[in-house]
Structure 1
């Protein structure tokens, strides 16, 4: 038995499903800060991850992609009726290519139905992978770490990365 158990959920890459040019990543295939602590998250074996309460939302993942291609990153999320702390707070969908890459991001908000919306970008965040990328790893995530407000009631169903054509 390990002496220390991380309070964070570490991605299980075996949970990632690849279908053609699309990766579907369920909650257990993502890194979730405080995800192993039942005071903050409820993460069943299958089904959506349920945010109980955090003031630091950080959900991330990574996959190997093909150089010279463009990819779309989306998160499928929903607010539960008893959600709190989201008014006036935006979330960022961020991505970069390689550990040393520069982040690109889109600001998103949760609309009245609890769905994540990016103004003018129904496809989600798009990112180009340079043909000469030294490291073709796509790092991506969903973040709300700036407001300092406690928030809860968010369900994360999955992240999707799709090659754009």
Structure 2
């Protein structure tokens, strides 16, 4: 039986570029433990659903060809039966190039909230063309978390 990779690797066809804006849908993201149905449900279309993990790492990369300031945000939803989010910071992080230094912004997701939560935007200045690496992370608390839906990530040029 062939070994199945435990992590979901991004499908570039699930990333839509419209002028200065990238919309990255769940299948267009790298999701740690995403290929294991004990931890995630990632349908062909629609949101990715976190069943349970202690290590939340959802990341992506977009090619930047124009200098300017870019924002990075995630659109997520915490389900009614969500758990592990109380008093837990979730970080949106981004950097330019593989060896760049991360900028980050901490966010709190409300326990049991059943509406779309736009996670705060993180702004990144870009000079020239490069890849912008970004992600949504909670890997420090050691708490088990679940009931989160990842709807999409957005990277947008602001100026």
Give TM class, smaller chain: over 0.9
1:151 aligns with 2:145: yes
Q: What are structure 1's unaligned runs of at least 5 residues? A: 119-123
Gaps of 5+ in 2: none
Deviation at 1:19, TM superposition (A): 1.3
Equivalent-residue separation in structure 2 for 1:8 and 1:151 (angstroms) = 17
2:100 maps to 101
Q: 1: CA distance between counterparts of 2:22 and 2:158?
A: 12
Cα offset for 1:117? 4.2
Specify the alignment match of 2:56 in structure 1: 57
CA distance in 2, matches of 1:111, 1:21: 31
Q: Of 141, 145, 162, which aligns to 2:156?
A: 162
Give, in whole Å, the separation in 1 of the partners of 2:154 and 2:48: 15
- Report if the CA contact (8 A) 1:66-1:129 is conserved: no
Alignment CA distance shift 1:79-1:57 (3 Å): same
Question: What SS is found at the alignment partner of 1:28?
Answer: helix
CA contact (8 A) 1:109 1:116 kept: no
2: CA distance, partners of 1:38 / 1:145: 20
Aligned-pair CA distance for 1:68: 2.4
Higher strand proportion, which one? 2
Give the alignment's TM-score, normalised by structure 2. Answer: 0.93
SS at 1:59 equivalent:
strand
- Tell me how far apart the structure 2 counterparts of residues 33 and 148 of structure 1 sit (CA, whole Å): 15
Q: Which residue of 2 aligns with 1:69?
A: 68
- Equivalents in 1 of 2:101, 2:25: separation in Å? 25
TM-score (norm 1): 0.90
- Given the alignment, which residue of 136, 142, 149 partners 1:142? 136
| Cα RMSD for the two superposed structures | 1.5
**Structure 1 residue 70: deviation in Å?**
1.1
Contact 2:76 2:119 survives alignment (8 Å)? no
Contact 1:56/1:144 (8 A) holds in 2: yes
Contact 1:43 1:49 in 2 (8 A): yes
